[in-house]
Amino acid sequence: MEVSFWLVDPPGASYFSFNCPGLHASAFDDYAPPSLVCSGAAFVLFSLTIRGAVHHFVYTAAPAGKQSLEALTDPPVCRRRRFGLLPRGDGEHYAVAYVDRQWISQDDDWRFDAHVYSSETQEWSSHRLSLLHLSKSDKLLCCKHTLYYRHIAVAGSLGWVDLLRGVLLLRNLFDGGDPVIEFIPFPESRVNFLDEDGRPHRACEYYCNVACCDDLLKFIEIEFDDPLVRTSRKGWRANVWNRKISWNKWEIRSTVDVASISVDQSYSALLPELRQGDFQKLDLQKLIFYAPVLSTRNDDLIYMMAKVNAQDETAWAIAVDMERAAVEAMAPFSLGRHHYHIAKSRHA
């Protein structure tokens, strides 16, 4: 089995592909294509469904000839859960973990267990997690957390993201003891984009996202003039909050209105059908806004994924500097393949 990468700098889209000699195409599921689950430092975690069974692999980037692709052994509890990967501080090893939650009727409560794979021992370990130290509100959010969307690595901890509720953190994965759960709710000042039944008008990833840089969490939310419409000259504002793990609250980092974002003439030439006015500048409000993505560095860059027309097979990744309220770069990418946002390793 081989994996190949085609990497480009943001806002361009990078690609990967799997090559499985000896396996017929019928062994793969069209509805469960190879998935890049997450990445950290020199490690990339993939899942691959073969003949109905889900397998996980970790690719380790290194100089030419020293790369590796390791198949993980099956976890102790074979349920479909969202795996996360956390590199160890020395960069030589990593942990893969997932959180299993079950309703225990006799206790009238949820039970949480963490299952952790160590690349050093090449074994899984299981740990019962306690929620007794959490506040009542944080415990309730943990019990409602989806655990399926995506994960982030934050200051030596592994976090599972629920864009409606917050980040469930798993600490102490390398200390030899039991991991510890913590919970970080998202900003209370965020816009309420739920309908009258308490459900999002659209999937949450259309509105918000989260990223981290060392011990700093960044949260972005797009506030649309009309939550049901993301085009037709409807306005929107991007709000970004900061929070360090040691803080007990979020702070607004920056806010920008789409109407105030300047676009250099050279970028306007890439999409002539969206020009307007005497100066023929690109009107970002004419684009269909699909998703915001935050930079994983301590900067003010955001990336907006957008299309000119809903039926287009080409989308655009647009980098915006929120501090300057200006477009920094634009790049097209094809929608013919599945796309994932990851932090690119410095390793070859």
Strand, helix or coil at 341? coil
pLDDT tens digits, 154-202: 888 999 999 888 999 999 999 878 899 999 999 987 766 666 666 665 6
Listed in order, strand segments (DSSP E) in 136-179 are: 150-154, 157-162, 166-171
Structural contact between residues 271 and 263, judged by C-beta atoms closer than 8 angstroms: no
pLDDT tens digits, 37-70: 999 999 999 999 888 888 999 999 999 889 999 9
Sign (positive or negative) of CA dihedral 313, 319, 322, 328: negative
pLDDT tens digits, 317-339: 999 999 999 999 999 988 765 44
| Burial track 63-81 (b if 16+ CB lie within 10 A, e otherwise) | eeeeeeeeebeebeeeeeb
Cα 202 to Cα 152, 171, 193, 207, 296: the distances in Å are: 23, 32, 9, 8, 25
Q: Which two tokens stand for residue 173?
A: 């994965």
Classify residue 131 as left (phi > 0), alpha (psi -120 to 50) or beta: alpha
Cα 151 to Cα 164: distance, rounded to the nearest angstrom = 14
Paired with 15 in beta bridges are 6
- Strands 2-6, 15-19: parallel, antiparallel or unpaired by DSSP? antiparallel
- Percent of the chain past pLDDT 70, that is, above it, reads 88
- Nearest alpha-carbon partner for 259 in 232, 233, 290: 233
| Residue 344 banded pLDDT, cuts 50, 70, 90 | very low
Q: 275 CB contacts (<8 Å, ≥6 apart)?
A: 268, 281, 282, 283
Structural contact between residues 245 and 233, judged by C-beta atoms closer than 8 angstroms: no
Residue type, position 174, single letter: F
pTM of the entire structure?
Answer: 0.86
Structural contact between residues 335 and 317, judged by C-beta atoms closer than 8 angstroms: no
Strand, helix or coil at 173? coil
Helices marked H in 23-149: 136-144
